[in-house]
Chain A
Amino acid sequence: MLKTFRIGGIHPAENKLSAGKKIVNAALPAQVMIPLAQHIGAPCQPIVKKGDKVKVGTLIGKSVGFVSANIHSSVSGTVNKIDKVMDASGYKRDAVIIDVDGDEWEPTIDKSDTLKRECNLSSKEIIEKIAGAGIVGMGGATFPTHVKLTPPPGLKADTLIINGVECEPYLTSDHELMLEKAEEIFVGTEILMKAVDVKKAVIGIENNKKDAIARFTEISKSYPGIEVQPLKVKYPQGGEKQLIEAITGRQVPSGALPISVGAIVQNVGTTFAVYEAVQKNKPLFERIVTVTGKEVKNPCNVRARIGTPIKNLIEIAGGLPDDTGKVISGGPMMGKALPNIDIPVSKGSSGILIIPYSEAKRKAMKDCIRCAKCVNVCPMGLNPTLLMDLTEFQIWDRAEKQKITDCIECGSCSYTCPANRPLLDYIRLGKGKVTGIVRARKN
């Protein structure tokens, strides 16, 4: 009996079209547009200006305040300008635009491929290095990692969980990374264990990645304290709270942080970036992106520099198919549909999914038939049809009592609804409204 989370969940078709495709390096673009807001928290302050020369790994944006992250150049060349560019948020925001010239890296970066296991830094030094390297959650949430590794006073973790689940259909970037950089991920795990002072780490992997589970289980024998846990294939197993429940059996209480049940979760991509930052002095400036879709000629996993326009990656996968309907940054359940393909790759771009026109348009919405399927599949135990009604009628106090702020926006409700009601659209709106009301009340 594989471990899993108890409430709700769905089983969308996996469509892992790019599974087994080895990671290819994307060619350097002629120009990159590096957004200054690629993370949760305050956008960076640019510290370069037009005409400055930069190398790969040069700090170009300084974090502002605690919940923020540094941003580094992903190319060598000259800063063209700092201007507003449309990024994955759907709005134009400040970005550093750099004309690419060669591929010269900062001399402090160790470019070698040899595995370096030993780390003699203290916990504080590790976290400082992670902060300096601008590492954020690479599963898509982009929460600054050094903030997550610094729990509020009084709270301490007893388990580190590494998220190798990748429950979204189509995406395989984490899977490939686990196959190609397995040992590095284990060293990264050890480093993180030291950073938060825990003796136990569990790497959770969904059971549809049997090769990764086998490889990791083999390697775990030489890494005491780190175990590998295969998990039942169910969406959203990769959600932080669901993963913690599956592995430790504990449910994070409503409104509380995972650290309150003694768990800290990090994505495998983040863990690998931590390894590179701490052991190789390499800041975060590139990531693996899955380019996929039913009509894509060559679904693949690409290592791309931050700031590369998405259309370059689509070219590597065989070009934009003729009857493209939607281009999505991320997976089909929680990813963001993009209005054009000039948008640059950012730290949270886990995948580019192209949905054909015939499948892209939503079906017409009908009245709610009270079938309660949305209630059955909600992993947080909410009542989505009620929350949608409360939002439409703007009954915020009852929406708050019905725990609308607990919603993790996984999309299971809208996916399941036989009446094609846009449940998550309204719940997201209501959640934002109620969060604002709660925050205003506290002040």
Chain B
Amino acid sequence: MENKLIVSPSPHIHSGDSIPKNMYGVLIALIPAFLLSLYVFGLNALILTLASILFCVLFEYFISKFLLKIQPTINDGSAIITGVLLAFNVPSNLPIWILAIGALAAIGIGKMSFGGLGKNIFNPALVGRIFLLISFPAQMTTWPAPVLESATDAISSATVLSQLNLSSALPTLSSMFVGTESGSLGETSEIALLLGLIYMLWKKIITWHIPISILVTVAIFTAILYIFDPQPQYNPIIHLASGGLMLGAIFMATDYVTSPLTKKGMVIYGFFIGIITVCIRLWGAYPEGVSFAIVLMNGFTPLINYYTTPKRFGEKQNG
């Protein structure tokens, strides 16, 4: 029995890479941070994360099928990631109904209104977070103490950044890096997040350019200020270890759709995110600036893509 031959242009083999593979890779990279959030914040972390995933996937399914009338693509994993990252950006005592509104904002406004995966300008999880921050400022800025410290939870306590803002006493560095300080679900443990970064670099899901340029910019900018005026609010190490910077630099700014395509562009993007973050943290009204910085630079991504090109073969002459 002879089949008809298949004819198509080259190449005739494929790496096997797919969108779900990359999305699930990011989810695996988030596991250390998730496990730590369970340890630090307890059952609430689990409930919020699962609820967020559920809301995001459901909203994407219904909006795709009934509003936009396109084929739902919930199995590519991107809605799940939006869910996890949204949950990681909120305090662990956030009421579920507020989280649901956040998920609607994230998926509905941040992603589907632009046309779905690949077409959105702003990071959906950050759109959700900023929407919640502005709509529910009180609930979004009361941080419960880590479960380990007290027998009862839901005592609100200050995050490191808000302490810096109010110039009160500071916790130790090691607790900040490990993540036993107060904060939103996913942002507290720098070590867990760095493990995720290493995993994603190893699996070639992202390149180093965006996270490193953001962190280096923040470190150098604050270091320069610190040299002139050694106050704790200018301490570069405290800045790197606190707030949503690590989470933002590693998982939010590196979102494929909303970040630049070229390496040159990625470094420029990361640099400005770093600058704007520090400016908002030090001189702006909000204690945390990463979300705003990233969303602002997301808006500049098309412009960056237009004006930067990759390093061309034959540009420089050697030998």
A-B contact pairs, 11 of them (CB 8 A): A241-B313, A252-B313, A339-B5, A339-B7, A340-B5, A366-B76, A381-B313, A383-B310, A415-B11, A420-B14, A425-B9
Q: Which 7 A-B pairs have the closest CB atoms?
A: A411-B11, A249-B319, A367-B118, A381-B312, A250-B319, A253-B314, A332-B13
- List A residues at the B interface (Cβ < 8 Å): 7, 10, 12, 90, 169, 241, 245, 248-254, 256, 261, 320, 322-328, 332-341, 353, 355, 357, 359-363, 366-373, 375-376, 378-383, 385-386, 402-403, 406, 409, 411, 414-420, 422, 424-425, 428
Expressed in whole angstroms, the minimum distance between the Cβ of A373 and any Cβ of chain B is 7
- In the complex, the answer to whether B261 meets A325 with C-beta atoms within 8 Å is no
Size class of the B contact interface (CB-based, 8 Å): 35 or more
In the bound complex, CA of A373 to CA of B19 (Å): 12
Contact A424 B261 (CB under 8 A): no
Beyond A245-B313, A252-B314, A322-B1, 6 additional contacts (C-beta under 8 Å) are A10-B15, A12-B15, A248-B319, A326-B5, A375-B262, A420-B14
> Which one of B1, B9, B259, B318 lies within 8 Å of A250 (CB-CB)?
B318
Q: Which of B76, B256, B260 has the most CB of A within 10 A?
A: B256
Q: What's the count of A-B pairs with C-beta under 8 Å? A: 169
A interface secondary structure, majority: loop
With a CB–CB cut-off of 8 A, which chain A residues contact B76?
A: 366
Q: Is the CB of A355 within 8 A of B12?
A: yes
Q: Which residues of B contact A256 (CB under 8 A)?
A: 314
Set of chain A residues within 8 Å of B1, measured between Cβ atoms? 322
Contact residues, B271-319 vs A (CB, 8 A): 305, 309-319
Binary CB contact string for chain B from 100 to 140 against chain A (1 if under 8 A, 0 otherwise) = 00000000000000001111000000000000000000000
- Would you give the 0/1 interface string for B72-115, flagging 1 where the beta carbon is closer than 8 Å to chain A? 01001000000000000000000000000000000000000000
In the complex, are the beta carbons of B256 and A370 less than 8 A apart? Answer: yes
| Given contacts A369-B118, A370-B261, A402 and B12 within 8 Å (CB-CB) | no
Contact status B309-A334, CB under 8 Å = no
User: Of B18, B21, B73, B313, which is within 8 A of A406 by CB?
Assistant: B313
Chain B, Cβ-Cβ closest to A252 = B314
Closest to B262 in A: A375
Cβ of B21: which chain A residues have Cβ within 8 Å of it? 418
Kindly list chain A residues whose C-beta atoms are within 8 Å of the C-beta of B149: none
Q: How far is the CA of A1 from the CA of B194 in the complex (A)?
A: 29
* Pairwise interchain contact B17-A324, C-beta atoms closer than 8 A: no
Q: Which residues of chain A have C-beta atoms less than 8 A from B315's C-beta?
A: 251, 381
Once the chains bind, are B5 and A169 in contact (CB under 8 Å)? no
Complex alpha-carbon distance, A363 and B312, angstroms:
30
Bound form: Cα–Cα A403–B258 in Å? 25
Q: Which residues of A contact B317 (CB under 8 A)?
A: 250-251, 253
B22 touches A360 (CB 8 A): no
Q: Say yes or no: A254 contacts B312, CB within 8 Å.
A: yes
Q: How far is the CB of A296 from chain B (nearest CB, A)?
A: 15
